[in-house]
Chain A
Amino acid sequence: MNRPDAGKAPIEEVNAPIRESAEDALSARSADIPEKTVGNITHADPVMVCRGVDVFYGDKQAIFGVDLDVGRHQVISMIGPSGCGKSTFLRCLNRMNDTIDIARVNGNIELDGKNIYASDVDVVPLRARVGMVFQKPNPFPKSIYENVAYGPRIHGLAKDKVELEEIVHTSLEKAGLLGEVKDRMDQPGTGLSGGQQQRLCIARAIAVSPEIILMDEPCSALDPIATAKIEDLIDELKQNYTIAIVTHSMQQAARVSQRTAYFHLGYLVEVDETDKIFTNPSHKLTEDYITGRFG
């Protein structure tokens, strides 16, 4: 791994005045990126272990040698300035990057000890184990029931109608949506409010009983009340699921996650317990970001 000028950060820089614009700061501070991720990349009980992950879009590298463990049954949040590669990294975890022609992933990402990028791995069961919720709610143009039933159907999770119905109900229940939709299950999912749609998408993801749920800015299109509901939901879901969430809201990261990873220009700068990151970050870049100096 080569990082030009890495580690040679001049000491004066640390006390340098706040930059005029975030962009200025980004380009100028690329030299500050540490040689090795600061904090603690490992976890005692990891579900996913990522080592040396590089991602390229065509010739352009978007992720540089990221090492990170995702701990079981906890929430890890990924923060960082726009364009730093959070979504790109998240999409590596269930190989969603495969759907982009020009994207190429190097390195090792293990799910329970098995490299998901090995040539014999089938993405279909992988994505059933690692589900995803997107930034903009994207219910299918089908009924509420069909939206949730879709995953179990294609994976053959239900033996019969009754069982399928049960899966749909428990998923909606867990997503905290059942009460609001139980007497209009046959109406189109697109007719729900934004927050309801996002919970429907969460229910849809839960319905295939994934082990891990990836969420890419799940609340950015929602109002504060809907956001609070989803945050409560995430808090509950971590009993049974592992959640990796990308967010632009520092408060959200602090509220819902146990660990936080700070990305910068494609590098993973610092990862640690959320409390530690938000109270006492070790790296200057992290500190600048969470104190709102840029990003």
Chain B
Amino acid sequence: MSTIVLVLAVLALGAFYLGRNRATALASGTTGGLRGLHSLPGHYGLYTALLCFLPAILLLFVWTLVEPSVITSKVISDLPAETQELGKDRLGLVVNDIRNAVDGNVAPGSLSPEVEAAAAQYQSLRNTSARLRTVFAVALALGGLAFGWRMINPDMRARNRVEGMVTAFLIACSMVAILTTLGIVLSVLFESIRFFQRVPATEFLFGTQWSPQTAIRADQVGSSGAFGAIPLFVGTMLIALIAMCVAAPIGLMSAIYLSEYAPRKVRAFAKPLLEILAGIPTVVYGFFAALTVAPAIRGWGESVGLSVASESALAAGLVMGIMIIPFVSSLSDDVINAVPQAMRDGAYGLGATKSETVKNVIIPAALPGIVGGLLLAVSRAIGETMIVVMAAGLAANLTWNPLEAVTTVTVQIVTLLTGDQEFDSAKTLAAFALGLVLFVVTLVLNVIALHVVRKYREQYE
């Protein structure tokens, strides 16, 4: 695979020189010399090289994507009839065996002869495919080269064509990201729809009972399960609220200190320090919350006679708040710095003190941006998983009491999808529905926040 890419690259390089030389040669035949060419010789070279390289590499890419499924379906169709009638799931297992056999991941002799035969066939098909792929790719590259070379004439607008090809290539690259996102969203959406066919959306969105203990496997006995997600939403909001109560004031105050009060030396050292907080992996915060903060809160609660669950919303919320402080402070800092110096001068010129200036001029001027930053922070708090998994607990209590254990949407997604399960049970599908809700909420928050922040930026341009 890598050899063929190398070969293509060499071909492309050759195509570049061929194209360029041909352009130069043609140019010397015209009256104007090099000026008689529409574009620079290098553009003709590039044009030929791209024609040689791009289609071939594209072919390789598509081939590699399609190859396994084509080979698999061919192998399956050649399996004995009784194996083919096994049903989707069992057949999948057989195919898995075959693939493992091909990759040498199984002990020899542990497979049925039938699988061994299929594996051999698979392997030979794969070899053929690789050979064909090389032949086609090189042929395509040479074809492109020849075509490009023939197309070269002094009037051809090579520069524009190269620009066009480059643009197309860049668009293709950005499409990959966009399409992937779209794919994820659609898959979440479709699985959610399947979930809502079993559990009505109203029950999911407004029900107050959450116990997704449907039978995990079809043959197992178990309760039918309840999918009212309100306790999860409340738990999520409660924890996000606690987190914001910590992060918003502390983050904002430290941003104000750093941007308005701190001497340059302090700022140069405190700002990166604060940003390091953002680099701590969330799992570290998670066990900090579970092992240090939660017991501390529990101990403190007991000493004043309160009953505190060992996994409390408060512990998770506090630690999550600390986690998003740098997020809030660095966004607010940006926004505060964007307030024009003229605004400060105006206030100082009237004899306002520093704190009056901050309170009456800078904060109001920066407020939309700060609000935008806070909304982004909220959406982070809602989507955060690790801390709550470790510190908030699994009990779906419907409560606003921060001293009790609550659970959140993200925690439930994790618990629904870990362990053995059938892929299309209501329990598993519920995770997609929760994911959809999470996605929609954070999307809306982000859109609003970005809109607010952008609007704010425009105000000062």
Q: Which of the segments A45-53, A147-155, A232-240, A285-293 contacts the partner chain?
A: A147-155
Q: Which residue of A lies closest to B365 (CB)?
A: A141
Q: Which of B263, B344, B350, B360 gathers the greatest number of chain A CB atoms within 10 Å? A: B350
- CA of A141 to CA of B459 in the docked complex: distance in angstroms? 10
Please state if B349 and A96 are interface contacts (CB–CB under 8 Å).
yes
Least distance between A210 CB and chain B CB atoms (Å) = 9
Q: Which of A127, A131, A138 has the most CB of B within 10 A?
A: A138
> Within the assembled complex, what's the spacing in Å between the Cα atoms of A45 and B150?
91
Number of interface residues of B (CB under 8 A): 21
For chain B, what secondary structure do more than half of its interface residues adopt (helix, strand, loop), or is it mixed?
helix
Contacting residue for A140 out of B264, B346, B351, B459, CB 8 A: B346
Q: Contacts A96-B349, A134-B346; is A140 near B361 (CB within 8 Å)?
A: yes
Contact of A208 with B by CB under 8 A: yes
Q: State whether B264 touches A150 (Cβ < 8 A).
A: no
Question: A140-B365, A150-B360 in contact; A128/B351 too (CB < 8 A)?
Answer: yes
Given contacts A142-B364, A154-B356, contact A134 B351 (CB under 8 A): no
Interface-facing stretch out of A32-40, A77-85, A118-126: A118-126
Known A-B contacts A140-B361, A154-B356; A134 and B347 likewise in contact (beta carbons under 8 Å) = no
Q: Does B345 contact A (CB under 8 A)?
A: yes
Residues of chain B contacted by A204 (CB below 8 angstroms)? 346, 350
How many chain A residues sit at the interface, stated as a range, is: 20 to 34
Verify A126–B351 contact, CB threshold 8 A: yes
Contacts of B340 in A (CB 8 A): 138
Q: Given that A140-B365, A142-B364, A150-B360 are known contacts, is A131 also in contact with B342, CB under 8 Å in the complex?
A: no
Within 8 A of B (CB), among A77-130: 94, 96, 99, 101, 123-128
Q: Judge whether A127 and B351 touch: CB under 8 Å.
A: yes
Binary per-residue interface labels of chain B (345-380) against chain A in the complex, 1 for a CB within 8 Å, 0 otherwise:
111111111001000110011000000000000000
Cα(A143)–Cα(B459), bound, Å: 16
A127/B364 contact (C-beta < 8 A), A99-B344, A101-B263, A134-B342 known: no
- List the interface of chain B (C-beta within 8 A of A): 263-264, 340, 342-353, 356, 360-361, 364-365, 459
28 contacts between A and B (CB under 8 A): A94-B349, A96-B345, A96-B348, A99-B345, A123-B351, A124-B351, A124-B353, A125-B351, A127-B348, A127-B349, A127-B351, A131-B349, A131-B350, A133-B349, A134-B342, A134-B345, A134-B346, A134-B349, A138-B343, A140-B347, A140-B361, A150-B347, A150-B360, A151-B350, A151-B351, A155-B351, A204-B350, A205-B350
10 tightest Cβ-Cβ pairs between the two chains A and B: A127-B351, A132-B349, A138-B342, A128-B351, A138-B346, A151-B350, A141-B365, A124-B351, A154-B356, A154-B352
